[in-house]
Amino acid sequence: MIWSWEFVAEITPDLLKGLVVTVKITLISSVAALSIGLFFAIAKMSSVDLVRRSAVLVTETIRRTPLLVQLYFLFYVLPDIGIVLSPMIAGTIGLGLHYGTYVSEVYRAGIINVPAGQWEAARACNLTTRQTWTEIVLPQAIPPMIPPLGNYVIAMFKETPILSAITVLDLMGEALAKANFSYRYLEPITLVAVGFLFVSLCSAALIRLLENYLKRQAA
Amino acid sequence: MNTFESAIGYSWFILTGAVATVELTLLSCLLALILAMLAGIALTSDQIAVRAVTRIYVEIFRGTSVFVQLFAAYFVLPFVGVSLSPLQSGVLALGLNGGAYGAEVVRAALNAVGRDQREATIALNLTRWQALWWVILPQAVVFMLPSFGNLAIELMKGTAVASLITVSELTFQAQVVRGQTGDTAMPFLLILVIYLLIASALISFVRWLERRFGRGIVSANT
């Protein structure tokens, strides 16, 4: 089979439509992951033993099972108990939940890496809890978190093709629809791969710039 | 009663998928390990051509998702004359993907071994390969293991995607059961538990390896 530019031209508009969906899903599920991650991070650092243990149990379970199975769960099993989600919503929740568990580790590591002396100094200076967090801990904890968080956003972007398995028409979904219809796989899948490669290389470069900028700020 | 019996019947059917999942995981981990070692060592090479070629491999496979790579291996390779069985495509795509991530781990671990160790091998007149094999690698392996453990889990989770290219592993079998019986909760809960067990077994194995290889080495992070 040889590469056909005509076919490429024919499918490009629909693939671009899929790309828009992909980007939209990435953005929404990033916000979801960042919030869910915060929730898990706080729970994992809770002083209540039961809360901490159950948070660890839940996050480890999510991290050790495949995203695809979790998506099937949200999409096929939840309707049995009366919760019917659209493919888009199920996909966004699945991605957000899965990556939320990874993100919670980033938050936790960031906060734990603030030296104990800083907490003690804040206490010695008689700062309130609120002041300790907003003036001392978070300004030191957040910059080192940004590169890993950025990497997880890229990872989520790269994972979105999996959503086509629960019938979301993202970039991969559109490509597979075209491929199944015409039985030409070469062009759609190559275009998807090139598209993803392009976007992830660009965003990786952006994150590296950001990282260097933050390093200069810290120095 | 009938439903209970059929539940046992299809649980057995799903369990047969666990064999394929484990097989796929182990084979692709093996391929990934070999590729990671070769590519990781190549990334620390003095020759710029070797480094450049390896860098291209690593960036291509890290820059696209394993999902796209699986579909490329299964649907696109036949068009360029390479026909692979679903399992072979799965092992190839997952192995190449894991190898690319692993290469970065190997590179970082090799660089983390102290400069004095390298200088000592030069002073002792060891060849490059002797130095790598007897001095640098044994120390670097300890740095690699925790990350390799995480990568093995990622690969194991990636095997679920291979169900979409018709490898009859756990997720595929669960989907078959869903299609045949219309029952959803049971098959998916069952495979979630099996995945959890496999992942936990993998983690315990890597922890054991960490202890085994960590023996006699003064840990830097105690």
CATH number at residue B88: 1.10.3720.10
Range of the domain at B166: 17-214
The answer to whether position B178 is within a domain reads: yes
Residue B221 lies in a domain: no
Pick from A116, A119, A145, A143: which is nearest to A131 by CA? A119
pLDDT (average), residues A179-201:
87
Listed in sequence order, the residues at least 6 apart from B77 whose beta carbon sits closer than 8 Å to its beta carbon are B83, B84, B89
Tell me which residue range forms the domain holding A173.
Answer: 5-218
Is residue A11 within 8 Å of residue A178, measured between CB atoms? Answer: yes
For this complex, say whether ipTM is above 0.90.
no
pLDDT in tens, B69-116: 999 999 888 888 888 999 999 999 999 999 999 999 999 999 999 889
CATH number at residue A10: 1.10.3720.10
What integer is the mean pLDDT of A81-97?
93
Q: Count how many domains chain A has.
A: 1
Predicted confidence pLDDT, tens digits, chain B (222 residues): 456 677 787 888 888 899 999 999 999 999 999 999 999 999 998 899 999 999 999 999 998 888 889 999 998 888 888 889 999 999 999 999 999 999 999 999 999 998 899 899 999 999 988 999 999 998 899 889 999 999 999 999 999 999 999 899 999 999 999 888 888 888 899 999 999 999 999 999 999 998 888 776 655 444
Distance from CA of A129 to the nearest CA of B (A): 31
Judge residue A50's burial from the number of C-beta atoms within 10 Å of its C-beta, 0-12 exposed, 13-18 middle, 19 or more buried. Answer: exposed
Does A162 contact B at CB distance below 8 Å? yes
Any domain includes B4:
no
Joined tokens for residue B134: 């007897």
- Which of B76, B160, B171 is closest, CB to CB, to A185? B76
The number of domains in chain B is 1
**pLDDT for the residue B222:** 41
Give the pLDDT of residue B25: 95
Closest partner residue to A161 among B59, B67, B178, by Cβ? Answer: B67
Chain A contact for B196 (CB, 8 A cutoff): yes
